[in-house]
Structure 1
Amino acid sequence: MLMLVDCSKCRTTLQLPPGAQSIRCAICQAITHIADPRSGPPPPSSSPSSSYQPGHVPPSAVAPSPYNHAPPGQPPHAQGRKRALIVGVSYRHTNHELKGCINDARCMKYMLTNRFKFPESSIVMLTEEDPDPLKRPTKYNMRMALYWLIQGCQPGDSLLFHFSGHGSQQRNYNGEEVDGYDETLCPVDFETQGMIVDDEINATLVRPLPRGARLHAIIDACHSGTVLDLPFLCRMDRQGKYIWEDHRPRSGMWKGTSGGEAISFSGCDDNQTSADTSALSKITSTGAMTYSFIQAIERGHGATYGSMLNSMRSTIRNTDSGSELSGAGGLVTSLVTMLLTGGSLSGGFRQEPQLTANEPFDVYTKPFSL
């Protein structure tokens, strides 16, 4: 069983291996000592924990990030900065190989830069095809990049995290999960380095988010419904009626933001699997969730969060039932034609896109915007 501890310096949640008495943080390199309960108080840390406030990023934790140079360190303009982290993990040459994840990453970057005007210098993309070892989607690099995404976040900023790859679950022992399981994302080296747990993603990206800032996560992975550990989940039926489920931990621990707005689109519910398929683009493999997300926007269904969800669910459901999608492809198919070559993985799939948020809202009146 893995124990979760907060780094004594930057407060990132870390997984302590069984029996370990100390752990080095992959983000700030500080060593956190775990006190034996029989030996009295733990040794003092190099940075007093009392100085930590929710939403505050300690300046000393910034230096080790390899992404400090991007985005450019100029003051944000009146509308705020746009910044994105895109991760596509294909697990090449392993038993877990996926075909469409790098395609997903490329298409998402294209959409962000061309439709939503994210500066290319403000997008970090981690894929196995990048020759830069710091841009491979290892657990260490993903942690560093997640921290880069949130560091220095100010009111008016718009952040986006997109992940396409494997997701999983592991048993939760502290009673904070409704279903008894933590959701996880799998870096390329997860078999040796372990997975990234929803508690850590929440502590890194969600809880520090300041008032006036906005975070969107787009997670195309199995078991990803609540992988950001956001407190509320939107449950929508086939007629488009919705209710918000309260997923706040019974312990009373706050898993929301420090006043900002965090919303996550996930490929499926926590107990479902998602698909890597060629059934949607007809050309090459893509993640079903990423494809349906981009398709909803390109078809003009991105006015509200409710219209986005309904469009995404319709795209996946129609493909699952074998019916033809009128005009299937659109920009997405032209993108994969223009940008990509590759194999295919045919077959149907069962999944329902999910929406989670730090606060409930009316999905049919709230405008969707990145």
Structure 2
Amino acid sequence: MSSAEKRCKTCGRTLVKLSSSQYEICPVCETVSLFNKKLKGRVLNRIEQIANVVRSPYQEDIKTLPSQTSSPWLSRFPQIRTNQLTPTLPLQKRKKAVLCGVTYNGHRKKLEASVHNVRSMQQLLVNKLGFQNDSIRILTEEESDRSRIPTKRNIQEALRWLVQGCQSGDSLMFYYAGHACQIPDEDGDEIDGYDEALCPVDYRVAGVILDDEINATIVAPLPHGVTLHSVIDTCFSGTVLDLPFLCQINQDGLYMWEEHQLTNKGTRGGKALCISACADHQNSADTSAFTGNAIGALTFSFIQAIETESKLTYGRLLTFMRKKVHHAQQVVGRSVPFASSLSQEPQLSCSTRFEIYSELVKL
């Protein structure tokens, strides 16, 4: 067996090259010394390939490790760098709301409960549903900021703000308490021949806000993963968002989705729901039957359902609200004001059909 002396290039100790092997492990520093140039080249090339794979995700913004040895082995490794990786955080899900209450001060049909309705909804959103006050835009005639008075222009701007920059996971809320009206449809997109419209405080001068405009502003732009809930406590409000499907439900709880679109007025993949005080041909009312203070019948029943019902489905929400409104109408008497001669049935409409008794209300 032939042998040849070699020295370890790390510690200098004499090594013995074995004829049956192409490498020797130094018994002192345990460095592997290769004696066959071809084998040495192939091994080092393979090591470099592996190192490139390992270091590639960490190539940027990392520091080079200082060399701790003059070993030719380590000097052949690609420079490995350390990297403090910052994990990619998921996009923060946001909650935004516009709460609008119009009193019509000085008008013969002044609404005393509108501001109280808005404050009650604000408390629900903040205390129960996790909304932040700085993500809620309130419009009432009591606001000191003139841009928060519920004029037509301010309401339009608030609705644009509501959907601005919305992204998947966001939850949006539009609440309105005030007057509404019906006017003849001029563009042929209404099954009943009438547009529904909200009446801002300056509607006599600036005009009303049509359901067509509301749909174009806060429904049509909704991207996939965004959910919009609208609670509309006003007369003639059944289809005030011009959503394609209206839920028809009877006293036994049986329901069907009725198509209400002559033209496509859906979203860009998001989901829009509208909970309204009554059908398009009906009137809504404020009442003191619930608390002794005037409050919208729909507003009170909606808040109570959210606060008291666990695992609330949309079907349960709708039947709960209808039951509460009916009860208030039945107890109307000498000292409890309510528009008892007018029928009021809370409505649910949506941009898509869904199973109302299995899908939970998530705001």
Q: 2:286 corresponds to which letter in structure 1?
A: D
Whichever of the two has the greater Rg, that structure is: 2
Deviation by residue 1:114-167 (Cα, 9 ceiling, x = unmatched): 000101110000000011100100000000000000111111111000000001
Taking the TM superposition and a 5 Å limit, the aligned residue runs for 1:102-117 are 102-117=115-130
Deviation by residue 1:309-343 (Cα, 9 ceiling, x = unmatched): 0100000011111189xxxxxxxxxxxxxxxxxxx
The residue that corresponds to 2:238 in the other structure is 225
| Local SS of the residue matching 1:244 | strand
Gaps of at least 5 residues in structure 2 are 1-87
Deviation by residue 1:75-114 (Cα, 9 ceiling, x = unmatched): 9964510000000001011112011110000000000000
The residue that corresponds to 2:34 in the other structure is none
Higher RCO by CA contacts (8 Å cutoff, separation 6 or greater): 1
CA distance in structure 2 between the aligned counterparts of 1:280 and 1:302, rounded to whole angstroms: 24
Residues 302 and 355 of structure 1: CA distance in aligned 2, closer, same or farther (over 3 Å): farther
| Local SS of the residue matching 1:290 | helix
| Local SS of the residue matching 2:348 | strand
CA distance in structure 2 between the aligned counterparts of 1:149 and 1:76, rounded to whole angstroms: 24
Deviation by residue 1:260-314 (Cα, 9 ceiling, x = unmatched): 01000000000000002212222x1111111110011122166100000010000
| Local SS of the residue matching 2:230 | strand
Q: 1:346 corresponds to which letter in structure 2?
A: P
Deviation by residue 1:19-42 (Cα, 9 ceiling, x = unmatched): xxxxxxxxxxxxxxxxxxxxxxxx
Taking the TM superposition and a 5 Å limit, the aligned residue runs for 1:227-242 are 227-242=240-255
Shift of 1:245: 0.3
The residue that corresponds to 1:347 in the other structure is 338
Out of 304, 315, 318, the position equivalent to 1:306 is 315
Deviation by residue 1:333-364 (Cα, 9 ceiling, x = unmatched): xxxxxxxxxxx971343200000000011100
The residue that corresponds to 1:122 in the other structure is 135
The residue that corresponds to 1:330 in the other structure is none
TM-score between the two structures when normalised by the length of structure 1 = 0.71
- 1:319 correspondence with 2:308: no
CA distance in structure 1 between the aligned counterparts of 2:208 and 2:359, rounded to whole angstroms: 34
Instruction: Indicate the RMSD between aligned Cα atoms, in angstroms.
Output: 1.8
The residue that corresponds to 1:272 in the other structure is 282
Gaps of at least 5 residues in structure 1 are 1-74, 325-343
CA distance in structure 2 between the aligned counterparts of 1:168 and 1:134, rounded to whole angstroms: 24
CA contact (8 A) 2:95 2:131 kept: yes
The residue that corresponds to 1:184 in the other structure is 197
CA distance in structure 1 between the aligned counterparts of 2:325 and 2:201, rounded to whole angstroms: 27
CA contact (8 A) 1:154 1:210 kept: yes
| Local SS of the residue matching 2:349 | strand
- 1:158 correspondence with 2:171: yes
CA distance in structure 2 between the aligned counterparts of 1:318 and 1:76, rounded to whole angstroms: 49
| Local SS of the residue matching 1:256 | coil
CA contact (8 A) 1:279 1:348 kept: no
CA contact (8 A) 2:160 2:217 kept: yes
Segments ≥4 residues shifted beyond 6 Å? none
| Local SS of the residue matching 1:223 | coil
Shift of 1:174: 2.3
Identity %: 47
Aligned residue-pair number: 273
CA distance in structure 2 between the aligned counterparts of 1:196 and 1:77, rounded to whole angstroms: 37
TM-score between the two structures when normalised by the length of structure 2 = 0.73
CA distance in structure 1 between the aligned counterparts of 2:289 and 2:202, rounded to whole angstroms: 29
